[in-house]
Structure 1
Amino acid sequence: MRKIPPLRALQVFEAAARQQHFSRAADELCITQSAVSHQIRLLEDHFAQSLFRREGRVLKLTDKGELLYQEAARIFNELSVLNQQITGEKQQALRLAVYSSFAVKWLIPRLSEFRRHQPDIQIRLDMISDDPVLSHSEADMFITGQKNQKGYWQQLLHKERLIPVCSPDFINQGQTLDINWLVEQQLLTVDEGPLGLDWQRWFEDNDMAIPHHTKQHLFSHVLLAIEAAIVGQGIALASDFMVVDDIAKHRLIALPFAGIDTGFEFNFLCKQRRLKEPAIASFINWLTLQK
């Protein structure tokens, strides 16, 4: 008789290894943290091997634990696909957790194309403002600033570069667009919390100080600043790829001033073990082809 590891313990181990945290695994599986610890001990007793080690307060996999995790993730994914094939169960709506600015200014205008090509795949957008906990209880797929997350496959979508934009009607015909003109205009400034004010960063990156007399209108979110720019209230800083459609439709123009690279990256993430699921694979293929 073949000797196989206890399957429930293997499921719990996969969640704990992916989350690198017993408590988060417990939340994902709707069990207690002590139940997670118990299942991990059962699995370690079965293999007579330690699967985790602690480095300070950080939970790490041992070499054997890493090997088991990679194979367990692959097996669970194949079982999920096999289950759909045998039962004929249709793919439920995929949940995509995504920043509201990315969704509104870039993804939603393009999503109708995906739906035309894949009408049987439903994508539910869940808006986020901060980086979410990566868990299937939150979403199936994520567009986030997080990267290099254990158990997750990632694809870089865009590196953030902020450029000054305003409505075409905001500029008088024949106006000389230089820094002297810029500082006399109303700047639509976004308060990015710990990162500070975006226009403040722009001036610092260009080795300048904002003159005291320069007017600034403060916003809590970049979407608000962009909309204010479209209706002619001032000059906003926006991610270049997010306003490409507004520029093409002449709602905004990019001003001839330097942009700044913020170092922030928009990444697509999904569980490594779910890469072969047809619906997720189709969405990834479509997403990575978009400009």
Structure 2
Amino acid sequence: MARTLPPLNALRAFESAARLNSFTRAAQELNVSHSAISRHVRGLEKRLDVALFRTVARGVELTPNGQWYLERIAPAFDAIAEATDGLTDIPAGQVILSCEPSIAQKWLIPRMGRFAALHPEVRITLTVTDRLANVANHDCDMALRYVSEGVDVSAYDEISRAPVYPYAKPGFADLDPDSLDLAVLARQHLIQEHTGLLWPMWFRTAGVVPDRPLNLSTPLDAVLGIEAAISGLGAILMSAELTSVEVEAGRLIKLSDVGVQSGGYYLLTNATAARRRAVKVFRDWMLSESEAWRTR
């Protein structure tokens, strides 16, 4: 007996728009026009005689019928994708990674050439943002975020929990890392990174009681803070994975081996996306590439 199925293109348009909660993003994902997505969805609604979406101020959202339908057809698309992956040894496809600007610029992007050389058939789409990423709702396949101490990270892959150390431009304030007087460092201009007031914690860990109030900058994000340190505007506390490129190039030097732990970078992968081979190889590569930063 023949199955009664709507046109596949209409189902693909609906599933993509429903998963991404956007006709525009669905059009981008499927490489068609916005009007094509709308036409397919309206045709599907007419065939089923139900409303699958409703218009809201920010765009569209699923109706209860639309949500019910998505929950039942999405696993079928996942199964088809997984079965197709299983027929080839080549993990081709797209992986969408949402990543914070600091670790994207200072750690990930300088290494992406290595992944591209290993897997030219996998296309990495990088979304750089500080905003929360709804991985469960398929905003992206994976999200790389900084997570503060005390947050439950049991569902995440640890990328780095490297402590933060003080760094500065070579020659800054005539400070010599081999004979550094920490009391002298405490009198210098100190660049604050916006994730927390780490300098007082660092001096306490180092056993130093400053003889005057610390000269702290206005909080900057990590990338601007590193650039300020490179420019000689002060010393900064930063984790090693974010400064490795600058240290190797001689633009920054590590002033002390005293480090403090304040959090780490973690990778969260959508459970459905994790079954795709392209996502698997990229996750494995990320974990391999970051292995050194989990042991420092």
TM-score, normalisation: structure 1: 0.65
Q: CA 1:265/1:190 → structure 2, altered by over 3 Å: closer, same or farther?
A: closer
RMSD: 3.6
Q: For 1:174 and 1:242, how far apart are their aligned partners in 2?
A: 22
Q: Which amino acid aligns with 1:147?
A: V
1:275 to partner: Cα distance: 2.6
Matched-pair contact (CA < 8 Å) for 1:167–1:231: yes
Number of positions where the alignment pairs a residue of Structure 1 with one of Structure 2: 227
1:265 to partner: Cα distance: 2.8
Q: For 1:37 and 1:107, how far apart are their aligned partners in 2?
A: 36
**Identical positions, percent:** 22
Q: CA 1:38/1:74 → structure 2, altered by over 3 Å: closer, same or farther?
A: closer
Matched-pair contact (CA < 8 Å) for 2:136–2:271: no
1:110 to partner: Cα distance: 0.2
Deviations 1:70-92 (A, max 9, x none): xx998764332235679xxx955
Matched-pair contact (CA < 8 Å) for 1:205–1:260: yes
Q: For 2:201 and 2:173, how far apart are their aligned partners in 1?
A: 24
1:38 to partner: Cα distance: 6.6
Matched-pair contact (CA < 8 Å) for 1:73–1:273: no
Asked if 1:183 corresponds to 2:186, the answer is: yes
1:274 to partner: Cα distance: 2.9
Q: CA 1:131/1:37 → structure 2, altered by over 3 Å: closer, same or farther?
A: closer
Matched-pair contact (CA < 8 Å) for 1:114–1:286: yes
Deviations 1:49-70 (A, max 9, x none): xxxxxxxxxxxxxxxxxxxxxx
Deviations 1:72-118 (A, max 9, x none): 998764332235679xxx95532101111111110000001111121
Q: For 2:284 and 2:229, how far apart are their aligned partners in 1?
A: 34
For 1:172, the equivalent position in structure 2 comes to: 174
For 2:104, the equivalent position in structure 1 comes to: 103
For 1:159, the equivalent position in structure 2 comes to: 161
Q: Which amino acid aligns with 2:274?
A: L
Q: For 1:137 and 1:276, how far apart are their aligned partners in 2?
A: 14
TM-score, normalisation: structure 2: 0.64
Matched-pair contact (CA < 8 Å) for 1:143–1:266: yes
For 1:220, the equivalent position in structure 2 comes to: 220
Q: For 1:237 and 1:272, how far apart are their aligned partners in 2?
A: 35
Q: CA 1:210/1:224 → structure 2, altered by over 3 Å: closer, same or farther?
A: farther
For 1:51, the equivalent position in structure 2 comes to: none
